[in-house]
Amino acid sequence: MSSTAVGIIANPAAGKDVRRLVSEATVVTAPEKVALLRRALVGIGAAGVDTVLYLRDAMHLVDRALQGFSPARRPDFAAMPLDLPLRGSPEDTRRAARALREAGVAALFVLGGDGTSRLVAQEIGDLPLLALSTGTNNAFPHWAEATAAGLAVGVAARGLVPQALTRRKRISFERQGLPPDWGLVDAVVLRESYRGTTAVWTPDDVAEIVVTQAVPGSVGWSAVIAAQAPLSVSQAAGARALCHPDAEQRTIAAIAPGLVLEIGVTRLERLALGEPVQVGPGPLTVALDGEPAARLASGERAVLRVLGDGPTVIEIGPALAAAAAKGAFLLPARD
């Protein structure tokens, strides 16, 4: 595979969980996702990438984006879908991420939310990633114009901006006898009363929250901690909040777009990287990045840890600034 190949995964189902029914979140339609992808492809091509390899999703989002170009405006790269049958499950995203890594792409562009980003990040090792937001709660993906995001992915794929790649944190979830799982932004421990199968949004169900970041302005469970003790993505630490519906201290936080809820917080604390947080005994449910990941049976225990070895992320502004400083966007002078 070309050393300037970019891989693309676009999740057509991103942003369709239960929070859409209880909040004012924007629904990013398939045509809007196609338009986002088309703008990103313009940026990727303009940055000098010569190959794009992509997951052919169930709604053919990337295919439709490519077909929408007139011959005169089509970016100058070869575009090829993965030879990967779809199964209609999150495993499609995992398999595509593994396939793109094994194909040797130099950078990966993802269209989706926190859940999509998490699945991809678990499979790609050190491969540089740029995720653009189209989900419901998006503390991890970028909110940015897709054209600029495409340019940033392109210059990163060409190896021009290593200084604009940052290592993010992650949350490890470990249970005895089972492979570890992990999230990117938050782990939420839910009381036995929780019976949901989709995204978590009811505050009285929450027993504790562990986060890698708590950035003011972000939406989701990390906003509970950001309201009292902000934590940046670059700080070498995590944070934890213990919660109870009868707590004297109440905090308001934006749990989803247009949804600000009260939650009782009994204690806040910083966590050192690698510090174990004991969870249990069950019955409890643990959600990672807003989606239930595991249920602990009666008496079962688990451990959460914030670690510093998460995915390598392409930072859009620094990438474009570094590329500009190297003259990457300058054309030869006209005669």
User: How much is the average pLDDT of 327-333?
Assistant: 89
The answer to whether residue 8 scores a pLDDT higher than 50 is yes
Give me the pLDDT at residue 328, please.
93
Which tens digits make up the pLDDT trace of 41-61?
999 999 999 999 999 988 999
Task: Tell which wins on pLDDT, 66 or 26.
Answer: 66
Q: Which tokens is 182 given?
A: 């992990």
20-24, 156-160, 217-221: which has the highest mean pLDDT? 156-160
The residues near 279 (Cβ < 8 Å, ≥ 6 apart) are 189, 208, 286, 296, 301, 302, 303, 304
Which tens digits make up the pLDDT trace of 240-260?
999 999 999 999 999 888 889
Give me the pLDDT at residue 15, please.
47
Q: Which tokens is 145 given?
A: 């114009």
Amino acid at 78: A
Give the largest CA-CA distance in the chain: 77
User: How much is the average pLDDT of 9-15?
Assistant: 77
**CA–CA separation, 231 and 286 (whole Å):** 22
Long-range contacts, stretch 195-198, CB < 8 angstroms, 24+ apart: 196/18, 196/292, 197/292, 198/17, 198/18, 198/291, 198/292
Which tens digits make up the pLDDT trace of 284-308?
999 999 888 899 999 999 999 999 9
The answer to whether residue 23 scores a pLDDT higher than 60 is no
Which tens digits make up the pLDDT trace of 185-242?
999 999 875 555 556 668 888 999 999 999 998 889 999 999 999 999 999 999 999 9
User: How much is the average pLDDT of 142-149?
Assistant: 94
Q: Which tokens is 319 given?
A: 């990438």
Which tens digits make up the pLDDT trace of 218-231?
889 999 999 999 99
Give me the pLDDT at residue 240, please.
98
The answer to whether residue 24 scores a pLDDT higher than 50 is no
Give me the pLDDT at residue 16, please.
47
Domains within the chain, CATH numbers bracketed: 5-168+311-325 (3.40.50), 170-307 (2.60.200.30)
Share the mean pLDDT of the chain. Answer: 90
For 52, the 3-state DSSP assignment is strand
Q: Which tokens is 98 given?
A: 């593994």
User: How much is the average pLDDT of 254-269?
Assistant: 92
pLDDT band at 139 (very low <50, low <70, confident <90, very high): confident
Which of 146, 166, 164 shows the shortest CA–CA distance to 44? 146
Give me the pLDDT at residue 70, please.
87
pTM (predicted TM-score)? 0.89
- Cβ–Cβ < 8 Å for 23, 119: no
- Measured at the alpha carbon of residue 50, what is the angle toward residues 109 and 72, in degrees to the nearest 5? 100
Q: Which tokens is 24 given?
A: 């004012």
The residues near 162 (Cβ < 8 Å, ≥ 6 apart) are none
The answer to whether residue 334 scores a pLDDT higher than 90 is no
Give me the pLDDT at residue 210, please.
98
